[in-house]
Structure 1
Amino acid sequence: MIEIGRYNDLRITTKTENGLILTDGENEVLLPYVDVPKNVEIGENINVFVYMHKDGRLLGTSKKPLACVGDFAFLTVVDDGEDGVFMDIGLDKDIYVPQREQKRPMFKGDSHVVYIFLDESNSRMVASSRLTNFVEEEDIDLEEGDEVSLLIVDRSDLGFNAIIDNKYIGLLYTNELFEQLQPGETRKGWVKKIRVEGKIDLSLQPMGYGHILENKDVILDELKYAGGVIHLGDKSSPEEIYQRFKISKSAFKKVIGGLYKDRLITIGDHEIKLFIDEEAE
């Protein structure tokens, strides 16, 4: 069965004046000559993206769209319609966002994270910025500490919402961020906490003791490279610490606390130093 809005492996059956006819054995797809790769022959299989033309025909293309059906993506509005807008999806045909599927009004030139799905009435690709209608909220297949892929959605009162692994939605808290984020950015993140109600708290830093061990080596190497002194300590600001080591202040304090217990460094309010054993000297 041909999957509209996705890539399909189809067999070339015939040539027409408009292009190649492809089939999955049941349905036919027209691949216009402008999209036909070189050196393909009748009887061969070809992988194409399939979408529904406005006249109801199935069309194939060798172009790569910015997103497929089932994807969340950051797209730009390129035109206004009477009852909705059109967004650039990287094909000759733009994708439609009806007014009812707009979380807030969209205007030409705006960019938004949207979800791509098929309109059940006509099998055409459409998009929606009402993301919570499409994320999975039950049977969350994640554990605290998991590394995940994040698509930054928008800013809320508490921080930034982000799509997780193209399935779930979670939150990065403002007070745990030490850099600017922008909607549409993709980031590596970690699951900080999964709440009873299914809400997911996220972090841009790894969780767990393994991360602490890793950063111990990083900070020791930096100390040696800096001649034994780094001007960051217990009372340094979170921004200064993040700018140097890309970790939170709480993680930094855990790392230097461990190094201090191991008698590898001394700690001051605004500096740390490699420990020198004067008795050994």
Structure 2
Amino acid sequence: MIKFGDYNMLKVKREATFGLYLDKETGNTSDDILLPNGNIVGDTPKIGDEVQVFIYRDSKDRLIATMKKPKVTVDNFAVLKVTSITEFGAFMDFGLERDILVPKREMKYTMVPGNEYLVFIYEDKTGRLAASTEVGRYLDLPEEDQYKVGDTVTGIVYDKQTNGTLEVAIEEKYMGIVLKNEYFTDIRPGDRVTGTIKRILEDGRISFTPRKKMIEAKEELSDTILDYLKDHEGFMPYNDKSTPEEIRKQFNSSKNYFKISLGNLMKKGLIRQDEKGTHLK
């Protein structure tokens, strides 16, 4: 049986000026699958040879074979680049001459041409290959004890909840989340994040944080503050009375970490504060 959207080993049955016909083994010549000349890689196979081909559909919905390798096969995940947006969906570079469509109903968020996103490849009701950004329903949960608190993990964001929680596909296969209070930059679907596991939730999802350990974050933020002061004639209009929003916008940090860093710099005698802001000594 033919595996649609996947690789198959088929025998060359007959030749034509525009390509080779591969035996579908139905006993019906009209079922033979065309391998166009443009889809042949390397030496042209001969009648009777077995070839490995990927099976998909052409623009006229006919089964077609190619010796070229797409970036992903059916029922699998892939990070693909958006090539164009239309009124009925987004097209992504699939690695073959035809881009693959993300139907509008399968676009969970606004996609931007040129950006890459994690998608799941499936066969739609019409028998065509399509892609979906609704990857959460296809992700797995890791095996028990596969990860532990303190491990470093990397994933790609596939959704952002209304409360700001990021949904992340760890290793592009496991369900993970990053809570709103664990990040301070503008992170969107398609972005990659690396962090440390804080909890393994009861439902099996992995909760992790991209924030560095406090001592690392304090030292890095202290350097950032000093660089800012040096670049702005020794003054900044921010101090430990500034709002969390101001701190987050300017320094991509929590106010708590900001205050700790200011205290560290004052203890070292490098800065002073007043009601206007912070000064370099």
Q: Same fold (TM over 0.5)?
A: yes
Alpha-carbon offset, residue 233 of structure 1: 1.2
Match of 2:199?
194
- Whether 1:225 aligns to 2:225 is no
Per the TM alignment, residue 36 of structure 1 is displaced from its structure 2 partner at its CA by 6.2
Matched, 1:133 2:128: no
Q: Kindly tell me: are residues 273 and 78 of structure 1, through their superposed partners in 2, closer, same or farther at Cα, counting changes over 3 Å? A: closer
Matching of residues 25-174 of structure 1 within 5 Å: 32-34=36-38, 41-42=43-44, 50-53=54-57, 55-61=62-68, 69=74, 70-71=76-77, 88-90=91-93, 92=98, 94=100, 106=105, 115-117=119-121, 125-128=129-132, 130-139=134-143, 140-141=146-147, 144=150, 146=152, 148-157=154-163, 159-174=165-180
Classify 1:247/1:187 alpha carbon distance in 2 versus 1 (closer, same or farther; 3 Å).
farther
Instruction: Indicate conservation of the 8 Å contact 1:234/1:269, yes or no.
Output: no
Q: 2 CA distance for matches of 1:223 and 1:49?
A: 61
CA distance in 2 between counterparts of 1:161 and 1:72 reads: 16
**Is there any run of 5+ residues in structure 1 with no aligned partner, and where?**
9-13, 23-28, 81-85, 98-104, 276-281
Query: Per-residue deviation at 1:19?
Result: 4.1
CA distance in 2: counterparts of 1:5 and 1:144, whole angstroms: 39
Aligned to 2:17: 17
Which secondary structure does the structure 2 equivalent of 1:188 belong to?
Answer: strand
Unmatched segments (≥5 aa) in structure 2: 9-13, 23-32, 46-51, 112-116
Aligned to 1:216: 222
Distance 1:141 1:107, change over 3 A: closer
Contact 2:198–2:208 under 8 Å retained in 1: yes
In structure 2, what residue type is equivalent to 1:133? R
Q: How does 1:169-180 map to 2 (within 5 A)?
A: 169-175=175-181
CA RMSD across the alignment: 4.8
| Match of residue 26 from structure 2 | none
Q: Distance in 1 between matches of 2:249 and 2:257?
A: 14
Task: Say which SS state the counterpart of residue 258 (structure 1) adopts.
Answer: helix
Question: Residue type matched to 2:77 in 1?
Answer: D
> Tell me, what secondary structure is at the counterpart of 1:137?
coil
Identity %: 22
Instruction: Rate the CA distance shift 1:246–1:169 in 2: closer, same or farther, 3 A.
Output: same
Structure 2 residue matching 1:106: 3-state secondary structure: helix
When normalised by structure 2's length, the TM-score is 0.60
1:242-281: CA deviations, max 9, x gaps? Answer: 2322222222223222223333323446622334xxxxxx
CA contact (8 A) 1:87 1:96 kept: yes
Q: Distance in 2 between matches of 1:270 and 1:203?
A: 33
Deviations 1:81-112 (A, max 9, x none): xxxxx763435264587xxxxxxx92899757
Encode CA deviations 1:7-61: one digit per residue, 9 max, x unaligned: 99xxxxx985334799xxxxxx966444568xx5558xxxx99343354443344
Indicate conservation of the 8 Å contact 1:51/1:124, yes or no. no
Is the contact made by 2:142 and 2:174 (CA closer than 8 Å) also made in structure 1? no
Whether the aligned pair in 2 keeps the contact of 1:115 and 1:128 (CA below 8 Å) is yes
- The alignment's TM-score, normalised by the length of structure 1, stands at 0.60
